[in-house]
Structure 1
Amino acid sequence: MKTFHKKTELIKHLDSLRASDNTIGFVPTMGALHNGHLSLVEFGLEDADVVVVSIFVNPTQFNNAEDLEKYPRTLERDAKLLKTVSNTKIIIYAPSVEDIYEGNTVSEQFTFDGLEHEMEGAFRPGHFDGVGTIVKRLLEIVRPDFAYFGQKDFQQLQIVKKLVELNALPTKIIGCPIFRADDGLAMSSRNERLKPEYRKAAPFIYKTLKEAKQKFGTKSAKAVTEWVSKQFKKQALLELEYFLIADVDTLKPVKRKSTKKSYRAFIAAYADDIRLIDNIELN
């Protein structure tokens, strides 16, 4: 398995692969890989001859400096995990901050037709400028035919699709199903930091989403939202940051249901100091 730390060397290698008519898939990550990441790579290998996996903890998308400091960095372990999928068809790109930002570690300013102001954007100002900056740079470096993003970060997925559209980037963005642990908790690198009692409590998030989906069939979005809030108030170990039901295209909260629109329920909650997000398709 080849690992590159400099974009110039990666670009040269990928150009040689394209010269032999190889298609390139891409899975951007911040490392601390888990089975959810591996599932994205597996999806990629169904479409492409080679999949590039970037491993880069991007400083510009962290609002909390302590969160950036604590974020796990496990490149050697990540490489071993990727080898369990393929030792010959995966390329790792693990750049330094300097290689990506060239001494100017700041975000570009983006407008994503308002998608950036909803949910995560409202609670994490500037977050999607950081996401847009790193994804745009990585897509320009790798120039993949396909790029794969998990639906756990559904808002990010929609924003990346808009980024590609607005910048006319020649990459097809593919959203992949949420990969869950056996107890329903959405896989996340942050899960590794959960203390045992909080890890035991965390599946309540998905359990509540499933019940909310059931209730949405007969109740209003407002009634379902109020019910979710009441459920979390009974949970000593979990603190609800937000729950809302939104239109999948605009990500704006639904005021009145329409049979002509598709909706998802989105949630963010704290387990101790670990922030967990999840979502579920409603119709």
Structure 2
Amino acid sequence: MMRAKTACNAVIIVLGALQETFHTEWIDYKHHFMPTDEELADFIQYSRSLGLKVILKPIVNCKDGTVRSCINFSEQGLSSEGKWVSWFLNYTDYQIHYARLAKDTKCDMLIFGSQLVKTEHKEKLWREVISQVREYYNGQLCYEADKYQEDGVRFWDAVDVIGTSGYYGQKCLGHELDRIKKIVEKYHKTFVITECGCKSCEGSALAPDQWILSGSLSYAEQISYYKTLFEECSKRNFIKGIGIWAWQSRLDNKEICEKDRGYFLYGKPVCDLIHMAWKENQ
């Protein structure tokens, strides 16, 4: 249904490993909310049978609700280096597990990191992650920077695709894309907006990254934002793809979806705009 409603040509499958807090070293990617490898492989095969490209995105979140951009050990005292090494070893194990699966299932891209802002200064350790992941997966490797943080990543030369979580406000979207263009040109890499979105509530177009926003239901707000997004991206040929958050993994009935004020697309008029924009580019 997602392809029929939006004319998308790819699906980004997000997998959410968990750690207890922002300074916990252990990463659990086998908890009961994660699909089994067999379930995931079946879904990838099904997606490919529909003609969709498949992008695998294994991320890590904190159980206590802290955003993953805060994960770090530099604020834990002078003996923190061992904790950094331990976390990166666990993180590498997590990524290698899905790198193997991505290779076996012929995924088109692996997003091996997402919005881990306070870890990015550990350039050497990130380069080791990339090197080890490449031993198991020979497809396109992408790192997803957090919004406004693209300049802080020092290992862009080691990836194939520069990604960003591009939740930029409607009024500054063009400006931020022009800023990112300079980074893309510096490293001569492919660029994809690997995640972006806007809630269907008043105020979200100006602050699409504010997931706790609770304005009144507004389809017009969501449509206006995506219209601007597609217009601005169409002016810049260095942008090679847009990933939109989100399509529900389990669909409620249409009446319930129509009342949703969040990012989900199903059951909302914005699907028609997205379908038109993507159909024109195929």
Same fold, TM-score > 0.5, yes or no? no
Considering Cα pairs closer than 8 Å and 6+ residues apart, tell me whether 1 or 2 has the greater RCO.
1
TM-score bracket, normalised by the shorter chain, equals: under 0.3
Structure with the bigger percentage of helix? 1
